[in-house]
């Protein structure tokens, strides 16, 4: 499908000849020559957004000359000018956990558009969409040569309904491709294959246009591709669906924080150590809602694999994205990973011609800056609950002891027998060691490093401790190719790091069950078991229901902790174990040199490997090819399915909208603390038979063994709304000392949040949620907003919001509010028994402050002022329509009429 852009007579449209081929492009220097402003010192990340404005300015889109001039004003004002703009990314990336509900919504919208008098074919992605199935594989089998095939077989058994549905979607919708299971993680596939840095396509007049590769993704770690100078970030599935259907993303011109890197990494440190320090620094700095751009002479010594690791973790440091401009290293990476030489030539020529190139004279204006000497980086881990909880490895043992006393409030040294085993369990034992996640498995330096640690350990006779569940889940098949070429996979296998699948696995909580006897000992002893993973998130309740302390680490350190098996061992001074002769073996004895790692990377990570492994990326294995589906335009919703159900959002929907009204007589569903993540809110991981979701499935004769996970059932709103706010570690401050998804019902009795919500809704009583700082941090899970909406919550009032979740709430018709004037749930003495009213919402404007009234049980009232976090004018339209998809659907119906 041709792309629609500004007309051929646009004043900024110029020609660029590369390799004898002529491309049109939208020129920033031409915009300066046309008197639109001085853009010369804009950061490259912001120039990508500016080019987007130029490309759509005169094509009948909602971009004005003033929007373009605002970028010049941004520079003149020292990196600040929060003007609302309409941004159009070139494509959309999805994974299956967020992708299935998105395709469910699109299928429901086809039914909805027909109900409004339109045509089903109006619901089709206008922008290219790639969905990579990577979130479904679970680690049931591990530590044996057949683990990969056993896990794949079980994956298909569990998920055939979902895969049939996705295959239907691939047939039914235009511009929609599916990368089958067992291929890799979406962000790694995106980085290594899908992305082009500079894209080119035919416009509506049949002329070839070159433009920056941009995207949004239904996963917060979409930011990984910023390491290759592709501007992308995570959005909720709701916002992504709107972008697919041609709706621009409404955003404010962001501030851009410059992060200057100097020096170079020293012996014994990894890119993971670097990124954990970066996360800590940027969380302290405060970059939520901002772009971060990395610059400085240190980039000359930083491989793109390390850049991608830093970019990947932008959600962990709170930024919209962490961007690296185009330079020689970008070109080298594109060549190594198999991109066409014509494409590489276009990237270089375009970047230099349009001001995107990072040369020696690159010195843009930034809103603010900070600096790090990479020579100061030391080996580190992060945990036990947040990615920004940075720990130099030398402090890890002492820090765990402190956490036991202060956070977990449990004694050290308690041993519990493990039935049938010679060892005991105690707090601090590492029960999961997982090399997982695109964050690190995309980086051959740390993967080869892990393999070399395994080789040296094996040669000395060391092995994983018997209580450690080990796994290796690379983000692409290329990793297996080079590990095998280096002979390192055999060494990893020998100490238990067998291939278990190509997917997210432990990083998203698909770690699978622990040995039952170990699980029993942990729970009977109320122990603090630990997990060490090379992932990006370590929030409470995420990794395993049996694990309370989760640590992020480089793949080589994951191997080391599997050998040590205990957080109570100081890896820098104490032995990991004994060799075949009984001699102590220390970490320094098995740690490879940087030269050893670089030599093997150079020999085994080849362009040919990438070309070979991505040759048939959309084909899939025999199992995928055997999945049968129909050619119907609309989906025939199977009434008995417990995976896919027609959601209620568009049922009975008419063309009329409802103006925003005040909230009166609302009760509190939950009173929550700081850093409530989307892992706490959105259903994720496994669930038990006695939960509302478990009871729902049991009533439909689904055995507990077939429950699968919440994530795999995101296409069924009945299960998901029952699992919203049901995380096993969430703490509702309305209740004393209670963990899990509980609250007070209308009768004042303790009950599940779901059951309380249903009772309140039946009584016609609106609900609100109170929260603390960084509400909604973490993954871009649209169900954190969808579930909130379906539970009858009209408003969420918090001290601050993370970007994606705030947007998702608005996209589902839930209004976010922030306390002002220093008020917090604690300063107001809230108990959750109050009644809440919010006035001033009739005719409310973006970011307006409005009055609120809190009425206590005895009748006392407290007047507060709240900041309405409907941030832009178009978001008011979204709320009035009941959500962004309702807004899009009505507009499509009007255009059909």
Q: What is the DSSP string of 371-397?
A: EEEGGG---EEE-SS-TT-EEEGGGHH
SS3 category, 59: coil
Please state, as a whole number, how many other Cβ atoms lie within 10 Å of the Cβ of residue 395.
16
C-alpha distances out from residue 218 to 186, 237, 293, 729, Å: 10, 5, 22, 25
Q: pLDDT at position 826, please? A: 96
User: What are 108's two structure tokens?
Assistant: 């429901």
Nearest to 770 by CA among 821, 729, 813, 725: 725
Element (H, E) at 852: strand 849-855
Please state, as a whole number, how many other Cβ atoms lie within 10 Å of the Cβ of residue 403.
22
- Condensed to tens digits (0 to 9), the pLDDT of residues 200-259 reads 999 888 899 999 999 999 888 999 999 999 999 998 778 888 888 888 888 889 999 999
Please state, as a whole number, how many other Cβ atoms lie within 10 Å of the Cβ of residue 837.
17
Nearest to 871 by CA among 815, 823, 820: 815
- Condensed to tens digits (0 to 9), the pLDDT of residues 511-538 reads 889 999 999 999 999 999 999 999 888 8
Q: pLDDT at position 705, please? A: 85
- Condensed to tens digits (0 to 9), the pLDDT of residues 693-704 reads 999 999 999 999
Q: pLDDT at position 685, please? A: 77
Tell me: cis bond preceding 33? Omega within 30 of 0 counts.
no
Q: pLDDT at position 1, please? A: 53
Q: pLDDT at position 712, please? A: 83
Nearest to 248 by CA among 469, 436, 88, 63: 88
Q: pLDDT at position 60, please? A: 62
Element (H, E) at 438: helix 438-441
Rounded Cα–Cα distance for residues 646 and 702 (Å): 20
- Condensed to tens digits (0 to 9), the pLDDT of residues 76-91 reads 999 999 998 999 999 9
- Condensed to tens digits (0 to 9), the pLDDT of residues 155-194 reads 999 889 899 999 999 999 999 999 999 999 999 999 999 9
User: What are 87's two structure tokens?
Assistant: 């941004």
Q: pLDDT at position 59, please? A: 61
Q: Quick check: 721 and 787 in contact, CB under 8 A?
A: yes
Q: pLDDT at position 439, please? A: 87
Q: What is the 3-state secondary structure (H, E, C) of 683-707?
A: CCCCCCCCCHHHHHHHHCCCCHHHC
SS3 category, 315: helix
Rounded Cα–Cα distance for residues 644 and 106 (Å): 13
Strand partners, 382: 390, 552
Rounded Cα–Cα distance for residues 80 and 75 (Å): 7
The residues of the chain scoring below 70 in pLDDT are: 1-2, 7-9, 59-60, 780
Write down all domains in the chain, each with its CATH number in brackets: 13-87 (no CATH), 380-605 (3.30.499.10), 663-682+724-881 (3.20.19.10), 683-723 (no CATH)
- Condensed to tens digits (0 to 9), the pLDDT of residues 139-158 reads 999 999 999 999 999 999 98
Q: pLDDT at position 349, please? A: 98
**Residues 6 or more apart in contact with residue 77 via CB below 8 angstroms:** none
């Amino acid at each position: 499908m041709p792309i629609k852009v500004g007309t051929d007579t646009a004043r900024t449209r110029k020609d660029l000849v590369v390799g004898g081929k002529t491309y049109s492009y939208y020129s920033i220097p031409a915009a300066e020559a046309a008197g639109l402003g001085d853009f010369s010192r804009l950061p490259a990340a912001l120039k990508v957004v500016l080019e987007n404005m130029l490309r759509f300015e005169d094509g009948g889109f909602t971009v004005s000359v003033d929007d373009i001039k605002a970028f010049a004003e941004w520079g003149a004002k020292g990196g600040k000018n929060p003007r609302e703009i309409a941004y159009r990314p070139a494509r959309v990336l999805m994974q299956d956990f967020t992708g299935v509900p998105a395709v469910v919504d699109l299928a429901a919208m086809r039914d909805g558009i027909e109900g409004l008098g339109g045509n089903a074919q109006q619901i089709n992605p206008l922008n290219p969409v790639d969905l990579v199935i990577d979130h479904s594989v679970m680690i049931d089998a591990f530590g044996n040569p057949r683990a990969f095939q056993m896990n794949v077989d079980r994956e298909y058994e569990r998920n055939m309904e979902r895969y049939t549905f996705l295959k239907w979607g691939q047939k039914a919708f235009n511009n929609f491709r599916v990368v089958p299971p067992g291929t890799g993680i979406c962000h790694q596939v995106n980085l290594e294959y899908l992305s082009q840095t500079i894209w080119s396509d035919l416009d509506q007049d049949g002329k070839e246009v070159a433009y920056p590769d941009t995207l949004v993704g239904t996963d917060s770690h979409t930011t990984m591709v910023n390491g290759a100078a592709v501007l992308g970030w995570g959005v909720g599935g709701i916002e992504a669906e709107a972008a697919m259907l041609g709706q621009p993303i409404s955003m404010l011109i962001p501030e851009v924080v410059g992060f200057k890197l100097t020096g170079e990494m020293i012996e014994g440190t990894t890119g993971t150590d670097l990124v954990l320090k970066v996360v800590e620094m940027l969380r302290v700095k405060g970059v939520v809602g901002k772009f971060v751009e990395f610059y400085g002479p240190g980039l000359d010594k930083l491989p793109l694999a390390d850049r991608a690791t830093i970019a990947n973790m932008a959600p962990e440091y709170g930024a919209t994205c962490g961007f690296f401009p185009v330079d020689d290293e970008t070109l080298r990476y594109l060549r190594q990973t198999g991109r066409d030489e014509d494409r590489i030539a276009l990237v270089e020529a375009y970047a230099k011609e349009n001001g995107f190139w990072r040369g020696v004279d690159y010195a843009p204006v930034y809103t603010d800056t900070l600096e790090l000497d990479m020579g100061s980086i030391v080996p580190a881990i992060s945990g036990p609950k947040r990615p920004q909880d940075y720990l130099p490895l030398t402090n890890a043992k002492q820090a765990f002891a402190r956490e036991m006393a202060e956070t977990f409030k449990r004694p050290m040294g308690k041993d519990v027998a493990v039935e049938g085993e010679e060892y005991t369990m105690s707090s601090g034992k590492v029960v999961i060691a997982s090399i997982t996640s695109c964050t690190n498995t995309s980086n051959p330096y740390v993967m080869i490093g892990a393999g070399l640690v395994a080789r040296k350990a094996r040669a000395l006779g060391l092995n994983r401790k018997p209580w450690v569940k080990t796994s290796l889940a690379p983000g692409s098949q290329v990793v297996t190719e080079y590990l095998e070429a280096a002979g390192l996979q055999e060494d990893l296998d020998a100490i238990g790091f067998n291939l278990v699948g190509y997917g997210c696995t432990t990083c998203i909580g698909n770690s699978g069950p622990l040995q039952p006897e170990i699980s029993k000992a942990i729970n009977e002893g109320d122990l603090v078991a630990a997990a060490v993973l090379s992932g990006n998130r370590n929030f409470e309740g995420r990794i395993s229901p049996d694990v309370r302390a989760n640590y992020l680490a480089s793949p080589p350190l994951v191997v080391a902790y599997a050998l040590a098996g205990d957080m109570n061992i100081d890896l820098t001074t104490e032995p990991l174990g004994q060799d075949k002769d009984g001699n102590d073996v220390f970490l320094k004895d098995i740690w490879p040199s940087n030269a050893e790692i670089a030599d093997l990377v150079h020999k085994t990570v080849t362009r040919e490997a990438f070309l070979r492994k991505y040759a048939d990326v959309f084909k899939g294995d025999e199992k995928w090819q055997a999945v049968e589906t129909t050619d119907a335009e609309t989906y025939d919703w199977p009434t008995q399915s417990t995976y896919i159900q027609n959601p209620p959002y568009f049922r009975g929907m008419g063309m009329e909208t409802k103006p925003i009204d005040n909230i009166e007589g609302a009760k509190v569903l939950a009173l929550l603390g700081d850093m409530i993540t989307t892992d706490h809110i959105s259903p994720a991981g496994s669930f038990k038979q006695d939960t509302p979701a478990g009871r729902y499935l049991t009533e439909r004769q689904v055995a507990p063994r077939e429950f699968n996970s919440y994530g795999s059932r995101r296409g069924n709103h009945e299960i998901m709304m029952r699992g919203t706010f049901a995380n096993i570690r969430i703490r509702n401050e309305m209740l004393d000392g209670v963990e899990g998804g509980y609250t007070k019902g209308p009768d004042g009795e303790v009950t599940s949040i779901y059951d309380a919500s249903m009772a309140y809704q039946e009584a016609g009583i609106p609900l609100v949620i109170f929260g603390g700082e960084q509400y909604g941090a973490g993954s871009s899970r649209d169900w954190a907003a969808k579930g909130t909406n379906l539970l009858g919550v009209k408003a969420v009032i918090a001290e601050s919001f993370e970007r994606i979740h705030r947007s998702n709430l608005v996209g589902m018709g839930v209004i976010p509010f922030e306390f002002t004037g220093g008020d917090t749930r604690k300063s107001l003495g809230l108990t959750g028994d109050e009644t809440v009213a919010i006035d001033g919402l009739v005719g409310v404007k973006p970011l307006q402050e409005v009055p609120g009234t809190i009425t206590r049980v005895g009748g006392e009232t407290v007047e507060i002022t709240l900041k309405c976090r409907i941030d832009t004018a178009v978001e008011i339209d979204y709320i009035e329509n009941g959500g962004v998809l309702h807004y899009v659907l009505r507009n499509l119906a009007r255009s059909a009429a």
